[in-house]
Amino acid sequence: MPKVLVIGAGIAGLAVALRLRNKGYDVAVFEKNNTAGGKISDFKLGDYRFDWGPSLFTMPHLIMELFELFDVNSDKYFNYIQKTSSCNYFWEDGTRFVAWAKKADFVVDAAAVFNEHSSTIEKYLDDSEKKYSLTASIFLEKSLHKINTYLSKDTLKALLHFNSLDLNTSLNAVNQKRFNNPKIIQLFNRFATYNGSDPYQTPGIMSMIPHLELNLGTYFPENGMRSIAESLYTLACNQGIEFYFNTDVKEIVTSNGTAKGIRTEKLEYKADIIISNSDHYNTFKMLLKKDRKNIVSIPKQERSSAAIIFYWGIAKKFPELDLHNILFSKEYQEEFNAIFKDSTIIENPTIYINITSKDKPSDAPNGCENWFVMINAPSASGQDWPLLRARVRAAIILRINSMLKTDIEKYITHEEILDPLGIEAKTGSYGGALYGASSNSKLAAFLRQPNFSTKIKNLYFCGGSVHPGGGIPLCLLSAKITSDLIPKASSLE
């Protein structure tokens, strides 16, 4: 049976391992940490449980597909609920808006709160769906670096609607053209952050992202985000996939331009196919450093945004908050200029608060809540992070107090802080960038690392730092694209 070795047990590594096991390969996964999941992990502070990384769950069918491959009932492994609202939004002038899950309810309330015509909002969401439908099969479900991707009816159809895709303008420009109220413009600009980009630079085609949340819905795993990785790991073990934890891969072994195996600190493992779910920058820089002649130079793309995250145990309940909450900054464009042009953080950044105890009460003691408080930050490039952390912490406490009419610091009983350097150390994401490269250019999708090596045979890539991008859905699609590039095992025997 042909052998596949996967470097990294992140969500894409788990998914590609399952897909190739289904294709008849003998699969082994090597992970430097002691558990599977990569950024999808959790931890406890006292009696408070926190999801360490990703907090938004959309497109659950991509998880279900992996169970369906093996005709396994997913209910025995993984369950989730659909949220009735996607996010609660707050502005400094006291405006509040609940983004309801039902499209009709969202449109009615948004029209009232933002004084926009309901038909304008509905048309925007319809166009968001249309852009997704026109481009998903090209940009999200196939390799952009294979000619057959462009020889299809889907590509022709997309080309016929090229002008409606808004590739030559920014997301902010698209939203300003559609709406009059700056608050709803800001709300829809926010979706650029879903792939770590700047709404004032990223192409207008990114207005398809709201479709994933506002048309398809947001969800919550019944046992927290960690259960996504746990369920796939359990499925993988049950299908005979082998895992090596606490095992740091030191090198991808190549010979005559072909990947032949991997080397850890102690042993060498041979295989027919190697797949790296590690950050592609580190894959090229560290794992292929002995084979420079056969690799292209490391792409010098702009990094996506990173984050500073405060994990707070809060000894109080806030009924005005839900699972997902945004406290907007008044200086939104300045916020992104600071991140992407000045590599710093403005004095009063936008604040995201995730509270899983709203849907999973056991995540916090009675009468308490577990707050995951995040602000967007630049990737690490020599900043004074202790200074930035302290400044940001003071600023967000003032903003939370002002906008929620509270004194939040006296309710913080537990605290942990993570900055881009910590993200890089834990996950290997270069500079702590959450999504690899940014999408601040209309060519960004084509410049991302392909899912295969153009120089080394039998070497492939998957995960958030390669095509099609970061976030749970795109990582799962990355695994599918990669597995589709690899023939069934029987063809290699």
User: What is the per-residue pLDDT across 103-144, written as a single tens digit (0 to 9) for each?
Assistant: 999 999 999 999 999 999 999 999 999 998 887 776 676 665
Instruction: Give the tens place of pLDDT for each residue, 415-443.
Output: 999 999 999 998 888 899 998 878 887 66
User: What CATH number was assigned to the domain covering residues 3-38+57-79+223-301+437-491?
Assistant: 3.50.50.60
Q: Is the pLDDT of residue 50 over 70?
A: yes
Say what the pLDDT of residue 294 is: 47
Query: Which range among 151-165, 202-216, 362-376, 471-485 shows the weakest confidence by mean pLDDT?
Result: 151-165
Mean pLDDT, rounded, of the chain:
91
Residue 290, pLDDT score: 72
148 pLDDT higher than 70: no
Q: What percent of the chain shows pLDDT beyond 90?
A: 77
> How sure is the predictor about 154, in pLDDT bands with cuts at 50, 70 and 90?
low
pLDDT in tens, 174-206: 999 999 999 999 999 999 999 899 999 999 989
The answer on pLDDT for 153 being more than 90 is no
Indicate the domain borders of the chain: 3-38+57-79+223-301+437-491, 107-216
Give residue-wise pLDDT tens across range 253-291.
999 999 999 999 989 999 999 999 999 888 988 898 776
pLDDT tens per residue across span 60-96: 999 999 999 999 999 989 999 999 999 999 999 999 9
* 3-state secondary structure labels for all residues of the chain: CCEEEEECCEHHHHHHHHHHHHCCCEEEEECCCCCCECCCCEEEECCEEEECCCCCECCCHHHHHHHHCCCCCHHHCCCEEECCEEEEEECCCCCEEEEECCHHHHHHHHHHHHCCCHHHHHHHHHHHHHHHHHHHHHHHCCCCCCHHHCCCHHHHHHHHCHHHHCCCCEHHHHHHHHCCCHHHHHHHHHHHHHHCCCCCCCEHHHHHHHHHHHHCCCEEECCCCHHHHHHHHHHHHHCCCEEECCCCEEEEEEECCEEEEEEECCCEEECCEEEECCCHHHHHHHHCCCCHHHCCCCCCCCECCEEEEEEEEECCCCCCCCCEEEECCCCHHHHHHHHHCCCCCCCCCCEEEECHHHCCHHHCCCCCEEEEEEEEECCCCCCCHHHHHHHHHHHHHHHHHHHHCCCHHHHEEEEEEECHHHHHHHHCCHHHCCCCECCCCCCHHHHCECCECCCCECEEECCCCECCCCCHHHHHHHHHHHHHHCCCHHHCC
Question: Is a pLDDT exceeding 90 seen at residue 238?
Answer: yes
- Look at residue 441 in the predicted model and tell me its pLDDT: 79
